[in-house]
Chain A
Amino acid sequence: DTGVSQDPRHKITKRGQNVTFRCDPISEHNRLYWYRQTLGQGPEFLTYFQNEAQLEKSRLLSDRFSAERPKGSFSTLEIQRTEQGDSAMYLCASRGTDIWDTEAFFGQGTRLTVV
C-alpha cells in the first residue's frame, strides 16, 4: 500500500468554474477526512466519512462544497462556482477501523489556485 493518494496535486481554475478532487485512502481504512489548509494556518476540518456515510460536516463546508464516498472506498470533494477565497491546500486523511487506530494518515494534498 502506498498510503493516502490525492489527485490532482495542483489545480488552477478560473473563478466561477467547478472543480473536483479525488482521495484514495489506505485500503483497509474505513474513516476518511477532508481538511482545508490556507497559508500560515493549520488544517481546518471540513468533513468526515465512516465507510460511505458522511457523519460530520463543518460549518466551513458551505453549500458550494459537496463530498461523496460511494461504496466506502475513494472520496471526491467538489467545489462549485469557485471563489478566490477557495484557494488553499485540500488535504485528505484516513484512519483504520479499530478503536485503537488513533493515527490519521495524510495524503500530500491538492493545491487549488482560483484566478
Chain B
Amino acid sequence: AQSVTQLGSHVSVSEGALVLLRCNYSSSVPPYLFWYVQYPNQGLQLLLKYTTGATLVKGINGFEAEFKKSETSFHLTKPSAHMSDAAEYFCAVSGKAGTALIFGKGTTLSVSS
C-alpha cells in the first residue's frame, strides 16, 4: 500500500523568497514520485518526477526536488518565488509503471508582492 502526506495545507511566501513544499511518502515497493501543479478549474500539470537514478531532479519553471529514501521524503523547492507560482501543488506516488498515482491532499502556495 502507498500513501502520501503533504505537510502544510497552505504555504505563503513573498516574491523572491525560497519556496519549500514538504512531501513524505509510504511505499512497500521502490516508489515513483511526482509533483503536479494545478491552477483553478484546470487539470494537473507535471512539474517533475523521480523514477530511478539521480536523486535530485529538476523540473519546469525552476522547481526541483530531492528523493531521500532514508527520510521517505520528496520535498519540492524553488530558490525564488514568482507571482505566477501561486497554485495548488500535489505530491504523488506510484509503484511499478502502470499502477495508479496516489496523491496527497495538496498544498496551496500563495505568493505576495
A contact residues vs B (CB 8 Å cutoff): 4, 31, 33, 35, 40-45, 48, 50, 56, 91, 93, 95, 98-109, 111
Q: Are A108 and B42 in contact (CB under 8 A)?
A: yes
> Could you tell me the distance in whole angstroms from the C-beta of B40 to the nearest C-beta in chain A?
11
Q: Are B43 and A91 in contact (CB under 8 A)?
A: yes
Q: Are A102 and B43 in contact (CB under 8 A)?
A: no
Task: Indicate whether A43 sits within 8 Å of B49 (C-beta atoms), given known contacts A91-B44, A100-B97, A109-B43.
Answer: no
Q: Are A43 and B90 in contact (CB under 8 A)?
A: yes
> Could you tell me the distance in whole angstroms from the C-beta of A88 to the nearest C-beta in chain B?
13
Per the CB 8 Å criterion, the residue count for chain B at the interface is 28
Chain A residue at minimum C-beta to C-beta distance from B41 = A111
Pairs A–B under 8 Å by Cβ, sample size 6: A42-B105, A91-B44, A102-B51, A102-B94, A103-B34, A108-B43
> Could you tell me the distance in whole angstroms from the C-beta of A21 to the nearest C-beta in chain B?
14
New A-B pairs, 20, CB < 8 Å, besides A48-B99, A107-B43:
A31-B98, A40-B9, A40-B105, A41-B105, A42-B4, A42-B6, A42-B90, A42-B106, A43-B44, A43-B101, A43-B103, A45-B100, A45-B101, A100-B97, A102-B97, A103-B34, A103-B46, A103-B49, A106-B43, A108-B42
Q: Are A41 and B106 in contact (CB under 8 A)?
A: yes
Question: Is B32 an interface residue, CB under 8 A from the partner?
Answer: yes
> Could you tell me the distance in whole angstroms from the C-beta of B76 to the nearest C-beta in chain A?
14
Q: Are B43 and A4 in contact (CB under 8 A)?
A: yes
Residue numbers in B under 8 Å from A43 (CB-CB): 44, 90, 101, 103
Question: Is B87 an interface residue, CB under 8 A from the partner?
Answer: no
Chain B residue at minimum C-beta to C-beta distance from A10 = B41
